[in-house]
Amino acid sequence: MRRHCELCEDPPNIKGIKVYQACEILDGNPCLPCQQHIALETEISVAKEALNNLLARRQNLRTEINYQHDPVIYRLPTELTARIFEAYVEIDPEEPDWETKETGSPLLLGSVCRPWRRIAWSSPQLWSHIHISIPTPEHRRSIDVPQEWIDRSAELPLSIYVKISCCDIWQVASPTGTYLPFIKMVNRYSHRWEDFRIQCYPNLLAMFSGDAQGAPLLRTMCLSIYEWDEVEVEDSYSIDSNESCAKPRPSHVELSRIQFKLVDINWNNITDATFYMNSICLDDCVVLLRQAPQLRNFVINGVEDPEQMGWQEQTFPQEPIIHHGLQRFTFWEYKGNNLELFFNSFAFPALTHLNVRNIADESLSSYIIALFTRSPTPRITHLDVTNAIRYDYQTLINILETTPFLPELSIPDVLTDAETLDFLRFLGATSIFNTSDDPRNHFLPKLQIITYLSAFNTWDVSFWEVLSQLFGPRGIDVHNSTTGRRPLKKISIIMGLDYFEDENPPVCLDREIVERLVELSQSGVIFDLNNSGTDLFKQSIQYHGMSI
């Protein structure tokens, strides 16, 4: 190992060691080497001071360069920059996978340059969005940082996102547990919770219960628990408060693997409710729709019938309940035999979006038709019944007759080739209508986009012919006051598999049909006609030596 001489060198890692004291052997004066050493030390001190001045100037110049070149600070007012920073640290409230997303850190913003740091440190709204992910007890720093953030957030409402992957209850709940101070800190600020989302194991959820002040500002609450065979969620979840505090009244609630009936909140103010992983039973769906008159968006992914006997008589009303607020309804993965009773229990006059998937009930189409017919003036603009309805030609017609305001249609690929052709012919036959009539008296008068996807190739002469007839016969004046044409803007037909290249694509051999399609294309209609990765519209035009 190389050693430093205490007399000859400045050891880099040894503090408090000074150069050998100058001698006085020449009539009380230092010897020549000592004099030279003293002079050199003086030069070094002057050089160090000059270097420090240069480094300081460089830092100031870099700060000025950053300011001049910064596309944000130099061009925007401080208030707008702070708002951009705030958007960076926020989590999208509509983000379905919020538990896997981490917010941007204001600490990272502050590390860019001095102006950014000055804005970040003086903007309390940046510190009101706190994302804590604690995978193991060893991540203690994850527990200390939130307190620093809250201290910088002034008294603003808080958005808190907690994800605890550790399931060791002793590490959390015991007096010496790693997380107990953190949980107490989060609870201490429940009166400032505005957006509270937590993902943890079931034995920890009840510990995030707030304090005596309750959660009067709470607007969004998302509770998600990990699946754990050792613990069942049987205890209710509530936020502590004194007698003078009302129950929380959030407007957005999302539950996953925790039952609706176990969450003790006021549901009257709910506008958006989402339930995953069988967190609500069919009877509770009825209860929620009764309790939440302001509900606009209702999402259910996984629902079962309750276990108790005779629940139907106690749940379903004698007369349909008219819910005037519901606009979007998503209903997936139902496993039961009471779907007809449920759909017959309601009317949704404001409904615009219906999404029903993965339901094994052969009569589902009749339930949906009855619901649309029962609901006064429905304006359905989005309908998705994937893997739910067993379509045939007539069933498809019957459902679409109740959705006159539908702007986009995806033709089910479960129809036979003959049924698909018949349906396209029906669209062509109904493309012209009297504009003075009620739109509900016509078949899809608002339709703009048609999509058809199939793994099989059916590009024969008949198929090309019906495509050219989708817009009705040529020569009809649709610019007069009473005659209208369905406002189709895009036809997307995709058949075959992309990884099977077709050496002889089935182009349209009829020149008149291609001319008609080109004419429509020039008027603004988009044709996406694809077969195994080949643009058949383009190929057909080239085949006949034409151009657009």
Last residue of some domain: 69, 91, 112? 69
Distance CA 200, CA 167 (A): 8
Asked if residues 205 and 239 have their Cβ atoms less than 8 Å apart, the reply is no
pLDDT digit string (tens) for 422-436?
999 999 999 998 877
Nearest partner of 135 among 80, 48, 199, 39, judged by Cα: 199
**Domain identity same for 87 and 32:** no
In a domain, 345, yes or no: no
Position 343: which residue type? F
**Domain identity same for 84 and 204:** yes
**Which one is predicted more confidently, 102 or 295?**
295
In a domain, 54, yes or no: yes
**Domain identity same for 59 and 105:** no
Quick one: pLDDT at residue 239? Answer: 81
Q: How far is CA 248 from CA 205, 245, 423, in A?
A: 17, 9, 51
**Domain identity same for 42 and 86:** no
Distance CA 72, CA 91 (A): 21
**Domain identity same for 2 and 149:** no
Last residue of some domain: 269, 295, 319? 269
Distance CA 209, CA 138 (A): 24
What does pTM read for this prediction?
Answer: 0.80
Count up the domains in the chain and report the number: 3
- pLDDT class for 193, splitting at 50, 70, 90? very high
| Listed range (174-183, 382-391, 415-424) with the worst mean pLDDT | 174-183
Q: How far is CA 472 from CA 39, 287, 356, 484, 527, in A?
A: 102, 48, 32, 11, 16
**Domain identity same for 167 and 85:** yes
- pLDDT class for 171, splitting at 50, 70, 90? low
**Domain identity same for 48 and 179:** no
Distance CA 275, CA 239 (A): 20
**Domain identity same for 159 and 11:** no
In a domain, 359, yes or no: no
In a domain, 18, yes or no: yes
Host domain of residue 491: 403-548
**Domain identity same for 257 and 171:** yes
**Domain identity same for 7 and 145:** no
Distance CA 460, CA 536 (A): 12
Q: In what order do the strands lie in the sheet with 449-454?
A: 408-411, 449-454, 490-495, 526-531, 534-535
- Answer yes or no: is pLDDT of 534 > 80: yes
DSSP-assigned letters across all residues of 295-359: --EEEEEEEE--SSTTHHHHHS-SS-EE-SS--EEEEEEEESS-HHHHHTTEE-TT--EEEEES-
In a domain, 341, yes or no: no
Q: How far is CA 314 from CA 266, 310, 311, in A?
A: 22, 7, 5
In a domain, 381, yes or no: no
- pLDDT class for 235, splitting at 50, 70, 90? low
| Listed range (11-15, 371-375, 414-418) with the worst mean pLDDT | 11-15
- pLDDT class for 6, splitting at 50, 70, 90? very low
- pLDDT class for 528, splitting at 50, 70, 90? very high
Quick one: pLDDT at residue 178? Answer: 67
| Listed range (27-31, 183-187, 524-528) with the worst mean pLDDT | 27-31
Quick one: pLDDT at residue 460? Answer: 85
H or E stretch including 196?
A: strand 193-200
- Answer yes or no: is pLDDT of 406 > 90: yes
- Answer yes or no: is pLDDT of 12 > 50: no
pLDDT digit string (tens) for 478-507?
555 567 889 999 999 998 765 455 567 889
Q: Which pair of structure tokens corresponds to residue 375?
A: 């609901």
**Domain identity same for 86 and 64:** no
Residue owning tokens 């620093």:
148
pLDDT digit string (tens) for 294-350?
999 999 999 999 988 889 988 999 999 999 999 999 999 998 899 999 999 999 999
In a domain, 377, yes or no: no
List the end-to-end C-alpha distance of the chain, in Å, as a whole number.
Answer: 82
User: What mean pLDDT value characterizes the chain?
Assistant: 84
In a domain, 368, yes or no: no
Quick one: pLDDT at residue 175? Answer: 46
Quick one: pLDDT at residue 361? Answer: 87
Last residue of some domain: 11, 35, 69? 69
| Listed range (29-43, 51-65, 226-240) with the worst mean pLDDT | 226-240
Quick one: pLDDT at residue 29? Answer: 79
**Domain identity same for 95 and 216:** yes
Residue owning tokens 């990272």:
108
pLDDT digit string (tens) for 438-474?
878 899 999 999 999 987 777 888 899 999 999 987 7
Quick one: pLDDT at residue 97? Answer: 54
**Which one is predicted more confidently, 9 or 524?**
524
pLDDT digit string (tens) for 253-304?
999 999 999 999 999 999 999 999 889 999 999 999 999 999 999 999 999 9
- Answer yes or no: is pLDDT of 96 > 70: no
Distance CA 258, CA 234 (A): 9
Burial class of residue 529 (count of CB atoms within 10 Å of its CB; 0-12, 13-18, 19+): buried
- Answer yes or no: is pLDDT of 8 > 50: no
**Which one is predicted more confidently, 22 or 250?**
250
Nearest partner of 264 among 282, 290, 283, 239, judged by Cα: 239
